[in-house]
């Protein structure tokens, strides 16, 4: 779907640093790419900012929700003013001003009513603030049409990202291996292999991804899965709990209903972990205390990683994260883990 594009002198000047970093061909692929970004709360704003500055061809910001006080806590693209505006619409002016070379558009329809053909105009789709069933459905559509799929969310101190790039090819810059000879007084000269930091070569590689449904429905009763459980981040299961809350309540946990939502989160934790056949104690009893609101620093970290992965996928430069990224703001740590693949 990505068309051949030419970088103008003005664009070459604008993206000079990026071209030096990942090369002209990668930037040309990025400049030919159209991205759909769903959900314009704090995380969506971070992703939009980074993709616009990176220089995609077009970015469509889709959100059918009105601004709320809660949604503005970490959303820097929405100017101060009345709350009776659509979140994506209110973000447009500041987003477009970041880079006039990018065609930034707004779609105020609900993502759930979009027909399959709608998604085929994009090279990558990135979902935030969506229910689990919507993410699974759109991931399947993207997989069918060879569209790069991403999803991400932030709940308090915790952030999540998932990617499905299908059968993805990319190039990676590797330091060249050079053979050198070191002389000795007697006998043949032994050959040594060393890395020459001044010379690099581009190596073509390929990687396969699984769909989100498969990644979320791991059979933890199998011997292989039981062995992997010890090194599986607890945030993987926390993500499932928070997705169940979103599905059941039609919203995320809210500070104004902290007591009620904390009790419900604890009950959902027990139910979800039991259904998976996993010990609920993998998620600490006090976990709910750290799952309320979008925190701006967590949005910045997760949004940076998520948009970086979109850029890598579209430019076909450097190895992508396969397939989850989990961020724990309490510990200040991020983990990449591959789940659901055979």
* Lowest pLDDT segment from 55-69, 183-197, 231-245, 314-328: 183-197
pLDDT at 175: 80
pLDDT at 46: 98
**DSSP states of 91-146:** HHHHHHHH-TTSEEEEE-S-GGG--HHHHTT-SEEEEES--HHHHHHHHHHHHHTT
Looking at the fold, whether 246 and 138 belong to one and the same domain comes out as no
Q: Give tens-digit pLDDT for 27-85.
A: 899 999 999 999 999 999 999 999 999 999 999 999 999 999 888 889 999 998 888 89
Contact 317, 22 (CB under 8 A): yes
Looking at the fold, whether 180 and 324 belong to one and the same domain comes out as no
Looking at the fold, whether 269 and 120 belong to one and the same domain comes out as no
pLDDT at 145: 98
pLDDT at 230: 86
pLDDT at 228: 85
Average pLDDT, the chain: 90
Question: Is 279 a residue whose pLDDT tops 80?
Answer: yes
Q: Give tens-digit pLDDT for 90-128.
A: 999 999 999 999 999 999 999 999 999 999 999 999 999
Question: Is 180 a residue whose pLDDT tops 80?
Answer: no
Question: Is 192 a residue whose pLDDT tops 80?
Answer: no
Looking at the fold, whether 154 and 192 belong to one and the same domain comes out as no
Question: Is 182 a residue whose pLDDT tops 80?
Answer: no
Looking at the fold, whether 26 and 135 belong to one and the same domain comes out as yes
Looking at the fold, whether 270 and 131 belong to one and the same domain comes out as no
pLDDT at 197: 60
pLDDT at 1: 43
Q: Which residue has the higher pLDDT, 226 or 53?
A: 53
Q: Which residue has the higher pLDDT, 280 or 185?
A: 280
Q: Where are the alpha helices (DSSP H) in the chain?
A: 9-14, 16-22, 24-31, 42-54, 87-98, 116-119, 132-144, 212-216, 223-229, 234-249, 258-276, 296-315
Looking at the fold, whether 43 and 182 belong to one and the same domain comes out as no
Mean of the pLDDT values across residues 304-332?
A: 96
Mean of the pLDDT values across residues 223-241?
A: 90
* Lowest pLDDT segment from 169-183, 289-303, 306-320: 169-183
Identify how many contiguous H helices and E strands the chain contains and give both numbers.
12, 10
pLDDT at 44: 98
Name the burial class of residue 23, with classes exposed (0-12), middle (13-18) and buried (19+) by CB atoms within 10 angstroms of its CB: middle
Residue 216: closest CA among 232, 193, 231:
232
pLDDT at 13: 77
Looking at the fold, whether 254 and 146 belong to one and the same domain comes out as no
Looking at the fold, whether 198 and 284 belong to one and the same domain comes out as no
Looking at the fold, whether 74 and 151 belong to one and the same domain comes out as yes
Q: What spatial distance separates the first Cα and last Cα of the chain, rounded to whole Å?
A: 29
* Lowest pLDDT segment from 121-130, 182-191, 273-282: 182-191
Place 3 in a pLDDT band, splitting at 50, 70 and 90.
very low
pLDDT at 320: 96
**Domain housing 197:** 171-202
Looking at the fold, whether 137 and 193 belong to one and the same domain comes out as no
Distance, CA of 273 to CA of 63 (rounded, Å): 32
Looking at the fold, whether 79 and 140 belong to one and the same domain comes out as yes
Count structural domains, the chain: 3
């Amino acid at each position: 779907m990505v068309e051949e594009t030419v970088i103008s002198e003005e664009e070459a000047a604008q993206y000079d640093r990026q071209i030096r970093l990942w090369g002209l061909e990668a930037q040309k692929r990025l400049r030919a790419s159209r991205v759909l970004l769903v959900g314009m709360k704090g995380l969506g704003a971070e992703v939009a900012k980074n993709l616009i500055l990176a220089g995609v061809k077009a970015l469509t910001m889709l959100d059918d929700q009105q601004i709320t006080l809660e949604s503005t806590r970490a959303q820097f693209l929405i100017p101060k003013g009345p709350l009776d505006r659509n979140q994506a619409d209110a973000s447009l002016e500041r987003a477009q001003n970041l880079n006039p070379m990018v065609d930034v558009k707004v779609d105020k329809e609900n993502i759930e009513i979009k027909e399959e053909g709608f998604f085929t105009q994009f090279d990558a789709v990135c979902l935030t603030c969506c229910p689990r069933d919507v993410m699974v459905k759109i991931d399947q559509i993207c997989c069918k049409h060879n569209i790069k799929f991403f999803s991400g969310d932030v709940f308090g101190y915790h952030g999540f990202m998932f990617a499905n790039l299908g059968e993805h090819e990319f190039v990676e810059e590797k330091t060249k291996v050079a053979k050198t000879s070191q002389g000795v007084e007697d006998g043949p000269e032994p050959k040594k292999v060393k890395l020459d930091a001044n010379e690099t070569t581009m190596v073509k590689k390929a990687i396969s991804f699984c769909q989100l449904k498969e990644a979320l429905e791991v059979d933890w009763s199998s011997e292989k899965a039981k062995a992997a459980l010890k090194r599986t981040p607890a945030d993987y299961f926390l993500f499932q709990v928070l997705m169940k809350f979103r599905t059941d309540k039609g919203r995320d946990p809210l500070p104004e209903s902290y007591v009620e939502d904390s009790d419900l989160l604890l009950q959902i934790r027990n139910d979800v972990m039991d259904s998976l056949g996993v010990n609920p104690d993998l998620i600490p009893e006090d976990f709910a205390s750290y799952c309320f609101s979008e925190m701006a620093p967590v949005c910045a970290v997760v949004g940076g990683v998520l948009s970086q992965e979109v850029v890598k996928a579209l430019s076909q430069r450097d190895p992508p994260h396969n397939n989850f990224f989990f961020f724990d703001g309490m510990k200040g740590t991020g983990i990449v883990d591959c789940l659901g693949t055979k």
